[in-house]
Amino acid sequence: MTENAWTRWPSREALGRAGISQARRLLAWAVRLLVLAMLLWSALTGRHVHGWGMLAAAAGVVVAAALARAFYRTTLQHRLLPSAACVAALMGLAVLAQTTGLRVPALVVWCGCAVSALERLPLAAALPVATAALATYSVFNDDDGLTTVVTSVGLALAGYVLRLDAEARGNAQRLLAQERAARAAEAESAALAERARIAREIHDVLAHSLSAQLVHLEAARLLVERGADRAQILERVVAARTMARDGLDETRQALSALRGEMTPLEDFLSGLVSTQDGAEVTITGERRALPAEASQAVRRVAQEALTNVRKHAPGAKVRVRLDYGEHEITLDVRDTGGSPGELAGSGGGYGLLGMRERAELLGGSLHAGPEEEGFAVTLRVPA
């Protein structure tokens, strides 16, 4: 046994009442009340107790009960010196009871001190206390030597068994607390992940819809400044209104996606490229149902890539290719390049970062960069 085991207190969970069943608590209280009643009966019915002696004996029993309660509290707080003082006071009270002829209460107190010390004190302190208490018990006990030895060993084993039982219960309580903390941390992590997912959805939908509207509204403003005819200005305003309507539809789709209700991926991509001049979509491989997160990642990456084309290369031709592989799905969006649009410098530059984050969260990858002709975005996610 290591030095730490000798000096280590039983845990507060072991010394406390947590984890004790209601039936066991009732049984413990019944035993305490029975012992207290026996002590009072023995103190008040002793042959040498009369008059004021009866009152003193009853007061002694009450003081012993108060010391026992104080011992429980100080051991629960892991305070060695006050705990030892309580035990010493109890044993001294038992010696006083023995000298006044109250033999049975004295023997009960000595036995209780030995068992409680082994149950609640560090072993380095419990063994001397238990040895002293049981030795005093053996000296004043009238039974034969063998019976006294067997009783003393039984009391020592009982105290140590109670200690082991309390430590096992304390370990169970600590494991339960750790499990609850782990569950709370897991729930918090899941909540944070869900918030991040909703934030990505909001960014992707708004970035796609609002930037498209802004392109047309900015074009309308330039036409007004140049004195263009009313038909051209009206065309841009109508286009912006159409984009606003499409943005509302996309917002509804995003809300449906958050609820787990999504349109087929192929239909989504076809509808997406239909709103962009010079865009076409190609789908290869065996089509199959995809996990919700993978399907949503493909949708948002395609949406963000087309938004970037509108901002940085308006009028460029775009080829969108979706390939169903055996273990992954690949989305490739390429444009033919062009002159930067009016809004090429707008935005905070978080689009590619958000797309890459989506891919990595799913164990996939995203590559985006200029090609010989135009710009390419390639997404691969397991599916």
Burial of 258 from C-beta contacts in 10 A (0-12 / 13-18 / 19+): middle
> pLDDT digit string (tens) for 19-70?
666 676 677 667 766 766 665 565 555 555 454 556 666 777 788 888 888 9
* Fold observed for domain 184-382: Heat Shock Protein 90 (3.30.565)
The single residue listed with the structure tokens 């990505």 is 200
Cα→Cα distances 266→117, 188, 209, 273, 360, Å: 75, 35, 20, 11, 23
Residue 174: HSE in the Cβ half-sphere, 13 Å Cα cutoff: 12
The single residue listed with the structure tokens 């590559």 is 367
> pLDDT digit string (tens) for 175-202?
888 888 888 888 888 777 777 767 766 7
Interatomic CA distance for residues 44 and 83, integer angstroms:
29
pLDDT number for residue 347? 41
The single residue listed with the structure tokens 């490229």 is 273
CA 196 from centroid of its chain's CA atoms:
18
First to last CA, the chain: 55
CA 293 from centroid of its chain's CA atoms:
24
Burial of 242 from C-beta contacts in 10 A (0-12 / 13-18 / 19+): middle
Cβ atoms < 10 Å from Cβ of 189: 10
* Six-digit token string for 198: 């909703």
Helix 292-312 vs helix 230-258: angle between axes, to the nearest 10 degrees? 160
Q: In what order do the strands lie in the sheet with 328-335?
A: 279-285, 318-324, 328-335, 375-382, 365-370
* Six-digit token string for 318: 């775009």
Residue 147: HSE in the Cβ half-sphere, 13 Å Cα cutoff: 4
Cβ atoms < 10 Å from Cβ of 101: 13
Tell me if 170 sits within 8 A of 14, measured CB to CB. Answer: yes
State which amino acid sits at residue 313.
Answer: A
pLDDT number for residue 346? 41
Residue 250: HSE in the Cβ half-sphere, 13 Å Cα cutoff: 27
Cα→Cα distances 113→29, 262, 270, Å: 18, 71, 84
| Segment-wise mean pLDDT, segments of 10 residues, the chain, 383 residues | 71 75 69 65 55 64 84 88 90 82 78 86 88 84 78 86 84 85 84 72 69 80 82 82 74 66 80 80 88 83 83 84 92 82 43 77 88 88 88
Residue spans per domain, the chain: 3-142, 184-382
- SS3 of 55-123: HHHHHHHHHHHHHHHHHHHHHHCCCHHHHHHHHHHHHHHHHHHHHCCCHHHHHHHHHHHHHHHHHHCCH
Tell me if 82 sits within 8 A of 127, measured CB to CB. Answer: no
